[in-house]
Amino acid sequence: MNYKLPIEEEMKGKVAIITGGTSGIGQACVKVFCDAGVNVVTLGRRIENGEALEKEINARGKGKCTYIACDVRDVDRIKFVVEETARLYGRIDTLVNVAGYFPKQHPIDDETCEEFEDVINTNIRSYVMFAKYAMPYLRTSKGSVVNIGSITAHVGVQGCADYLVTKGGIEAFTRGLSFDEAFNGVRVNEIKPGAIQSEISAELYGKDPAYNDYMQHVQTIGRNGRPEEIAYAALFLASDWASFITGIELLVSGGYEMGESYRQLCPYTKWPEKPVMK
């Protein structure tokens, strides 16, 4: 292992499955990994987005991108994606679990069993099933898993008990799987993003100036994160630069957990004027 190699040289030619690649953090991960020379198979339900992403990345002539239409609630389709990746490249080095969604906020007594199952199947069962089918290949390559969770598992969020169940589950799943697979040479880590500027966040609060202002200030760094900032962290954890790191929760949150605590403790204190860190 040559630690003097740039991370792009170290990762070049490796193979990754990245879920949720048709938008947001998942799409940023696909671009960052492919730019580092990784061959990526990605998936999602937005076929038009996936095909456009595949075309854009392959025109760059770096790592290859292959898009496969997939609803991560479909376990048979998950198995197909993993087997197709192995057929195309003969190996799998990294699994990056990103796919998920933030459901409509509501009190728990308004929750239906169908809504709860949908959140569970999308946000946590898909992570487990992708790991299940990819693990034999990851053991062979001595590869890694990077799970994308959420800082909300630490600080909570109103009206989202179902969502928080899944994000807390990702944390526990990461820890348990990292323990099991350390004996097989597979590292498993989690990234907890803070508030990230993406299509999802724009849909949630982009049209509400007051809430948008709150989200821009709740993180002590003074702004929302960018999807590529999560992607760079994922690339690091997937690489041999992180060869002695497993079972961790990496907070890429801009200090959200500290800003949110400040807001809760001092709800009537106005935010001070401060420079935004670039």
Catalytic residue among 67, 127, 137, 163: 163
Give the residue among 22, 8, 88, 100 at the shortest CA–CA distance from 54: 22
Half-sphere exposure of 201 (CA within 13 A, CB side): 19
Q: Where are the alpha helices (DSSP H) in the chain?
A: 7-11, 24-35, 47-58, 75-89, 113-120, 126-141, 152-155, 161-182, 199-205, 209-217, 227-238, 256-265
d(CA 70, CA 157): 29
163 labelled catalytic = yes
Longest dimension (CA), the chain: 58
Contact (Cβ atoms closer than 8 angstroms) between residue 181 and residue 247: no
What positions carry a catalytic annotation? 163
